[in-house]
Amino acid sequence: MTIALLAGFGIGYFARSAAGMLQRKTHAADLMAIEKAHQEDIDATLTQDPKRLIDLWAEDAVAFYPGSPPAVGKQAIGAVNEKFHAQYPGFKVLSYTSKYKNLQVEDGLACEWFEKKGEYKLSPESPSASWHANGLLVLKRQSDGSWKGEMVVTVP
């Protein structure tokens, strides 16, 4: 009886240890993939490549931009981008940085606060201008392990 009890404790200890190691590996992989998503955001923003900009988003994403109704769905977010670029065909991003704070990851969702800054020109002839925004970003783990934007609330 004592041997069975000790064996049960031993099996339980090693099972919990193995589960904890797997959870830590998964969390570490998620953090690396989220950091990759952050870098993809920077790269897409600097190049203004329409495909790369839309690829940042999950299919059912929602974007809340100041002064506009919510853009619901990846295609609607793409349409907002297209409308902006049609209005300012010479738009160029000169610099762009983003800082993220208080990352929380749980059950395939990640939530974090952000601060973004940039410098841009609306046309080659226009003077450069700066931009600053704070907001909340929710990311969603995709079936391939990557992370895409699920919701963004931007406050200028």
Residue reference for tokens 């300012």: 88
- Beta-bridged to residue 118, according to DSSP, are 96, 131
Query: Does 28 reside within a domain?
Result: no
Report pLDDT for 5.
Answer: 41
For the beta carbon of residue 57, count every other beta carbon within 10 angstroms.
Answer: 23
| CATH number, residue 147 | 3.10.450.50
Q: What is the CA radius of gyration of the chain?
A: 21
Q: Which residue has the tokens 């999950």?
A: 58
- Amino acid letter at 142? Q
* pLDDT tens, residue order, the chain (156 aa): 555 544 455 555 555 554 454 455 668 999 999 999 999 999 999 999 999 999 999 999 999 988 899 999 999 999 999 999 999 999 999 999 999 999 999 999 999 999 999 999 999 999 999 999 999 999 999 999 999 999 999 987
- What gap in Å lies between CA 78 and CA 55, rounded to an integer? 9
Give me the domain span that covers residue 83: 36-155
**Does 2 map to a domain?**
no
Question: pLDDT value at position 108?
Answer: 95
In this structure, how many other beta carbons lie within 10 angstroms of the beta carbon of residue 145?
A: 11
Q: What is the pTM of this model?
A: 0.81
Q: What angle do CA 24, 28, 34 make, to 5 degrees?
A: 140
Instruction: Report the pLDDT value the prediction gives residue 60, as an integer from 0 to 100.
Output: 96
Output the pLDDT for position 15: 52
The C-alpha atoms of residue 134 and residue 66 are separated, in whole angstroms, by 11
Domain tally, the chain = 1
> Is 27 within the bounds of a domain?
no
Rounded-to-10 torsion of CA 145, 149, 150, 152: 160
